[in-house]
Homo-oligomer: A and B are copies of this chain.
Amino acid sequence: MIGTSFMGRAHSQAWRTAPRFFELPMRPVMAVVAGTDPTRTSAAAATLGWEESAIGWQDVIGRDDIDLVDICTPGNSHAEIAIAALDHGKHVLCEKPMANSVAEAEAMAAAARKAAANGVFAQVGFTYRRVPAVQLARQLVAEGRIGRIRTIRCAYQQDWLADPASPMSWRLEKDKAGSGALGDIGAHAVDLAQFVTGEALAGVAGLMETFVDERPLPASLSALGGVAGEGTGKVTVDDAVVFLSRTVTGALATFEATRFAWGRKNALRMEVYGEKGSLTFDFEDMNVLNFFDAADPARTAGFRRIVVTEPDHPFIAAWWPAGHGLGYEHAFTHQVVDLVGDLAAQRQPTPSFDDGLAVQRVLDAVERSSAAGGAWIDLPTTSTTH
């Protein structure tokens, strides 16, 4: 694993936990974690459960005892690490956003396609796909329970930047983060919409805005870099973005991503309306999927609040009895379960780097639209793998 911060902690918990609850066809060995600061990385290895620590990813990814590289660094390093790892014949799990530009993502997807021909696979970490309620949503759409999609309403809202006194971080610097709310959380919303509906977006028109363009510098450098010191730093990414879209089948969609929505803590929300029914999901109530079935007689029809914790719900049989809800990190465990299963079966895991590239193209189109004052931008027709 490369990286030891927020995502490093979440991925480690998943690697540790998956074999405790699921029967995996292969047993993961947490061989080595690579960081930048020796003390910090060594401590992280001990705390997070890795056998060794290392400084710098370059030496690690070629090691013979390594089968898979798990990339948990900021977006500006993803392309380099992922392509190198694939070149070394290592499977790759790469955190989102896959890259900071379409060019990088294209290079990564090309490398992944080439590696796949040799049985080496890459996956991008759109982890929210593995929330059981989201999996159930996807299943219901795939089974035709919703019918042809009419409208999609999607938002990812947080509020941790709403206070202008919140300090600078690498996530607010364009060269490190690529973009702001758009790439950090909007990417999840795009992937979620495309995954659940099974439909690619055909074009976008979007507006981005930076509400607070200067923030106090933090006292010290974080593990992931970013400026530090006295005074203020310049925010070079978007604080919020809205965009509309049409899918390849003609469904209409709106999207919003913001880190300024007071009271919304981690509100990844989606509503999907189709010809036979509707689905709504909000990550702040992550164990619940709401489903309106138009086949119910009007007199007793209503959104069904499905508590997605039954044994026949995705991933649940391995956990607890009904109603004993899961939390944020469980989706990472599910990601490991599926990834290990796919690798054991020599099967392409999803979302693939092509899926990641498709999301990157959407993000890029939104940025170009916004730069052009909200102009409509067509997206290339793609097929997604799900």
Q: Please report A residues at the B interface, Cβ cutoff 8 Å.
A: 6, 9-10, 12-13, 16-17, 19-21, 47-49, 136, 140, 145, 150-151, 153, 155, 157-160, 162-164, 203, 205-207, 209, 211, 239-244, 246, 250, 252-256, 258, 260-267, 271, 273-278, 283-288, 290-294, 296, 298-307, 309-310, 312-313, 320-330, 373-376
* Chain B contacts for A209, CB-based, 8 A: 150, 246, 250, 252
* Chain B contacts for A47, CB-based, 8 A: 19-20
Chain B residue with Cβ nearest A146: B262
* Chain B contacts for A277, CB-based, 8 A: 262-263
- Assuming the contacts A20-B49, A298-B312, A375-B376, asked whether A151 and B6 have C-beta atoms less than 8 A apart, the reply is no
| Min distance, Cβ A310 to any Cβ of chain B, angstroms | 5
Taking A207-B246, A327-B328 as known contacts, 5 extra A-B pairs with beta carbons closer than 8 A to each other, sorted by chain A number, are A205-B205, A264-B278, A264-B323, A302-B305, A304-B304
- Assuming the contacts A153-B256, A325-B284, asked whether A265 and B307 have C-beta atoms less than 8 A apart, the reply is yes
Q: Is the CB of A254 within 8 A of B252?
A: no
Q: Is the CB of B323 within 8 A of A267?
A: yes
Chain B residue with Cβ nearest A290: B302
| Min distance, Cβ A129 to any Cβ of chain B, angstroms | 16
Q: Is the CB of A136 within 8 A of B299?
A: yes
Q: How far is the CA of A321 from the CA of B267 in the complex (A)?
A: 12
Q: Is the CB of B6 within 8 A of A321?
A: yes
Partner of A291, one of B10, B298, B302, B324: B302
Q: Is the CB of A240 within 8 A of B151?
A: yes
| Min distance, Cβ A298 to any Cβ of chain B, angstroms | 5
Q: Is the CB of A262 within 8 A of B278?
A: yes
Partner of A324, one of B157, B322, B328: B328
Q: Is the CB of A328 within 8 A of B322?
A: no
* Chain B contacts for A286, CB-based, 8 A: 325
Q: How far is the CA of A284 from the CA of B250 in the complex (A)?
A: 28
Q: How far is the CA of A179 from the CA of B68 in the complex (A)?
A: 51
| Min distance, Cβ A45 to any Cβ of chain B, angstroms | 12
* Chain B contacts for A287, CB-based, 8 A: 284
Selected A-B contacts with CB under 8 Å, 9 pairs: A150-B239, A260-B273, A260-B275, A262-B292, A263-B302, A301-B306, A324-B328, A373-B376, A374-B376
- Assuming the contacts A258-B150, A376-B375, asked whether A266 and B299 have C-beta atoms less than 8 A apart, the reply is no
Chain B residue with Cβ nearest A373: B376
Q: Is the CB of A207 within 8 A of B244?
A: yes
Q: How far is the CA of A321 from the CA of B309 in the complex (A)?
A: 24
Chain B residue with Cβ nearest A327: B327
* Chain B contacts for A205, CB-based, 8 A: 205, 244, 374-376
Q: Is the CB of A13 within 8 A of B20?
A: yes
* Chain B contacts for A305, CB-based, 8 A: 302-305
* Chain B contacts for A320, CB-based, 8 A: 6, 10, 328-329
